[in-house]
């Protein structure tokens, strides 16, 4: 993890327009963090010291079950918070948050801002909207698994998890997240390669036709 200082810090603070999300002024205590791909933003089960606001990149949410199996739950995109549930709940089992690309977050130290955040009507109103939207999206994902073929859902997954045009997620993780068999997944990946959407490079895939994948994924968003 890298912490930005000076001009780079000021640049991201200005570009994010984060001041509009709070009724109180943010001062010198707010930090700007950069995480590399696969670096953990929050370790599962730990108590985060910051409320994060993602401004660039993508992250994945994981949970470990009692039998030791690890599951991918969801994604975090720009203009979303990380650690908001830990802020609102004193007793909460923290999920693991891992960067899936180079990821830049604003980090508000909770020992400085917790009281102000929990009393800030502007912040709490916007957070409520975001949590409601997340709940709606999760419900829609279940509906999509029943309504759309794997081609559309896999195209969206590839776009969500690719980094600089490279897709390299573990097949077993994808099968579990999308609710499909390993054989079915490999069949559709082979189809994407045959059609020229992807090109296999060892254990990873290079996106060759981004627009074609986008068109497949867009059917889910227009539902």
Burial of 218 (0-12, 13-18, 19+ CB in 10 A): middle
In tens, the pLDDT along 163-220 reads 999 999 999 999 989 989 999 999 999 999 999 999 999 999 999 999 999 999 988 8
Taking alpha carbons only, the member of 139, 131, 138, 141 closest to residue 217 is 141
* Length of the chain as a residue count: 223
Give ranges for CATH 1.10.10.10 in the chain: 147-221
| Cα radius of gyration rounded to whole Å, the chain | 19
In tens, the pLDDT along 63-107 reads 888 887 888 988 999 999 999 988 988 777 788 999 999 999 999
At which residue do the structure tokens 């590399």 appear?
A: 36
The Cα 172–Cα 152 span in angstroms is: 18
Query: Which residues are CB-neighbours of 36 under 8 A, at least 6 positions away?
Result: 99, 102
Taking alpha carbons only, the member of 11, 38, 64 closest to residue 168 is 38
The correct CATH number of 2-126 out of 3.40.50.410, 2.40.40.20, 2.60.120.10, 3.40.1390.10 is 2.60.120.10
CATH of domain 147-221: 1.10.10.10
Give ranges for CATH 2.60.120.10 in the chain: 2-126
């Amino acid at each position: 993890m890298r912490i930005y200082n000076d001009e780079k810090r000021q640049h991201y603070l200005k570009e994010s327009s984060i001041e509009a999300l709070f009724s109180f002024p943010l001062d010198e205590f707010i930090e700007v963090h950069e995480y590399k791909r696969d670096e953990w933003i929050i370790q599962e089960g730990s108590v985060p010291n910051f409320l994060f606001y993602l401004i660039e990149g993508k992250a994945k949410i994981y949970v470990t079950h009692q039998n030791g199996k690890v599951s991918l739950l969801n994604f975090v995109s720009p203009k979303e918070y990380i650690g908001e549930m830990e802020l609102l709940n004193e007793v909460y089992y923290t999920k693991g948050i891992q960067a899936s690309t180079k990821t830049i977050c604003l980090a508000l130290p909770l020992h400085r801002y917790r009281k102000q955040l929990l009393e800030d009507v502007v912040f709490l109103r916007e957070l409520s909207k975001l949590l409601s939207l997340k709940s709606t999206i999760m419900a829609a994902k279940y509906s999509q698994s029943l309504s759309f073929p794997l081609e559309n859902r896999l195209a969206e997954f590839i776009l969500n998890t690719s980094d600089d045009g490279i897709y390299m997620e573990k097949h077993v993780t994808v099968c579990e997240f999308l609710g499909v068999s390993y054989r079915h997944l490999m069949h559709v990946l082979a189809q994407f390669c045959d059609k020229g959407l992807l090109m296999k490079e060892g254990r990873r895939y290079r996106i060759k036709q981004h627009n074609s994948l986008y068109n497949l994924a867009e059917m889910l968003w227009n539902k």
